[in-house]
A = this chain, B = another copy of it.
């Protein structure tokens, strides 16, 4: 077993904003920052959110000061008066606001380009604490601000995701990487589909017990996909990577049928890569998922190379009129049936002239369930030139969750069919 010295740099993320605490905004910024810091070998040891309240901001800043090397702060820098971070920063760092000429000019130019006159809200964005280093923000009007106090680095950034990401990527991460020599941390995430967590954990109990001391395994279930995350820490990137690769090889032997990606690629990306590799085109016919499958597929840049289009047949008249599902079939078997979904898949494949077609019909809820076909019932079909595969799932009661799980189940059936071609 490898014994490691703990030389990890400690980071914290502080988000400021009532909207996060009262649940109006989901905090995606922290997730993104956490991922960037982890990749760079920092230990993100805590994430804290506080109100847009002067005393809460000061108190949070004081608490993190002693325990972390780097604190990344987002939020509270917008042009409107609910944003009070800058005065709090001035108090905490014992400095005052001064107008920055360069920023003012940049804001003037940006506002002009949008075709609006400059106003006081815009002008206030150019006021910055005197003691900080300015980090340019080409995506918006509020700059990033870099402070140091008692051995801790504080960086304050706007909460608008695109602006925060720009400042992080262009300024903060390069500066942090050059300043700190961190321990190497490798996160490797293996994607699986087709079982549930307790069962998978049983299958992998022996594997987990035999992992070296510097590698940990975590299970992350999400809409039917279970991610297996290996976290390895060490000093040498090369040997650590080899060590992780060895464990991935073990997993490959243990659960070959469940793994669909060894590098955290989602199903829509894996499916797209397979289609591209085999030079196949795809169409979809969706009922209950209302475009979510097509939305997942087209979220991948370049998907226009293999995805031709879709017919969302929400109303049965679209299933019969456009996709050519026989009316009597729907009358006798119902729109949520193996026969109907098979006919939908074959219909859209013919109509759009693609190699493969996915079709789906189910009951997402909350209404529409019957004793024989309760909410959560879904039929999926994948048609190719010579055969049409079908599959039935019975999932839960929540509409939003069902739409997501149905769509991933369809992508997984598609993936398996492409592999079998």
Could you list which residues of chain A lie within 8 angstroms of chain B, going by C-beta atoms?
18-28, 30-36, 38, 44-52, 56, 60, 78-82, 111, 114, 116, 119-122, 141, 160, 162, 187, 189, 196-199, 201-202, 208, 216-222, 227, 229, 231, 284, 286, 289-295, 297-299, 301-304, 307-315, 317-318, 321-322, 351-353, 365-367, 396, 398-401, 403
Contact = CB atoms under 8 A, between A and B. Distances in A.
A39 to B, nearest CB: 9
A322 B22 contact: no
Given A21-B46, A24-B31, A119-B202, 6 more contacts: A19-B220, A24-B187, A25-B222, A298-B403, A308-B314, A311-B312
Nearest to A287: B309
Given A121-B202, A292-B291, A295-B291, A23 B36 contact: yes
Given A294-B291, A322-B352, A23 B18 contact: no
Contacts of A80: 197-198, 201, 218-219
B50 A45 contact: yes
A34 B27 CA distance: 12
Chain A at the B interface: mostly helix, strand, loop or mixed?
Answer: mixed
Contacts of A48: 46-49
Contact of A310 (B25, B120, B199, B311): B311
A281 B293 CA distance: 23
Contacts of A26: 26-28, 31
A22 B233 CA distance: 14
Contacts of A44: 21-23
A122 B304 CA distance: 45
Given A45-B51, A45-B56, A81 B322 contact: no
Residue from A48, A116, A295 having most chain B Cβ neighbours under 10 A: A295
B351 A322 contact: yes
A304 B367 CA distance: 11
Q: How many subunits of this chain does the assembly comprise?
A: 2
25 contacts: A18-B231, A19-B218, A19-B229, A23-B31, A24-B220, A26-B31, A27-B27, A27-B31, A47-B48, A48-B49, A52-B218, A78-B221, A81-B201, A119-B199, A162-B401, A291-B294, A298-B312, A303-B314, A304-B314, A304-B315, A308-B318, A309-B314, A309-B315, A310-B314, A315-B352
A317 B198 contact: no
A198 B122 contact: yes
Contact of A21 (B47, B122, B220, B229): B47
A27 B31 CA distance: 8
Given A81-B208, A309-B312, A34 B46 contact: no
A285 to B, nearest CB: 10
A75 to B, nearest CB: 11
Residue from A28, A116, A308 having most chain B Cβ neighbours under 10 A: A308
Given A199-B116, A218-B82, A308-B318, A34 B20 contact: yes
B318 A309 contact: yes
Contacts of A312: 284, 291, 294, 298, 309-312
A294 B284 CA distance: 14
A162 to B, nearest CB: 6
